[in-house]
Amino acid sequence: MADFWKLLGAAVACAVMALTLRTAHRPMATAFSLAAGAVLLLSLAEPLRQAVELLRGIADYAPEGREQLTLMLKLLGVSFAAEFAAQACRDAGEDGIALRVELSAKVMLVILSAPLLRQLASMILELTA
């Protein structure tokens, strides 16, 4: 938990530094902001690994749910990656590209979740028939 607070502190410090830089040298501020975002994201590698291991441990109690767990991890991965990419685009002043990244992620999430949606629809039809 302490690492989380350190991460938040570093993020706020980076934001203040980027804001300060932006008034003096906009391109440098953009580069700094993108680099800081990447470093902050990389600092989450270990907590993400722990979260995945926790979910795998839970899935071991229900082996038939392993497929759903894999799907959930893919959906989370797409969501996190798209959010990071969109925010990086916004940091660079490219709101239009950020919106396209978010739209692409939504389409990908629908495509990835299609088998689960089909399975759910099938179960509903079985229950109502």
Looking at the structure, tell me whether residues 10 and 64 fall in a common domain. Answer: no
Looking at the structure, tell me whether residues 9 and 23 fall in a common domain. Answer: yes
pLDDT of residue 116: 84
Looking at the structure, tell me whether residues 81 and 123 fall in a common domain. Answer: yes
Q: Which of 2-6, 73-77, 85-89, 122-126 has the least mean pLDDT? A: 2-6
Nearest to 44 by CA among 6, 78, 87: 6
Looking at the structure, tell me whether residues 60 and 25 fall in a common domain. Answer: no
Range of the domain at 12: 1-43
For the stretch 42-82, pLDDT in tens is 888 888 888 888 877 877 777 777 777 788 888 988 998 89
Looking at the structure, tell me whether residues 34 and 82 fall in a common domain. Answer: no
Percent of the chain clearing pLDDT 90 (strictly above): 20
Q: Indicate whether 2 pLDDT > 90.
A: no
**How many independent structural domains does the chain possess?**
2
Looking at the structure, tell me whether residues 82 and 122 fall in a common domain. Answer: yes
pLDDT of residue 20: 85
Helix (H, G, I), strand (E, B) or coil at 61: coil
Q: Indicate whether 33 pLDDT > 80.
A: yes
Looking at the structure, tell me whether residues 52 and 105 fall in a common domain. Answer: yes
pLDDT of residue 98: 93
Q: What single letter denotes the amino acid at residue 84?
A: F
| Residues 19, 21, 24, 25, Cα dihedral to 10° | -120
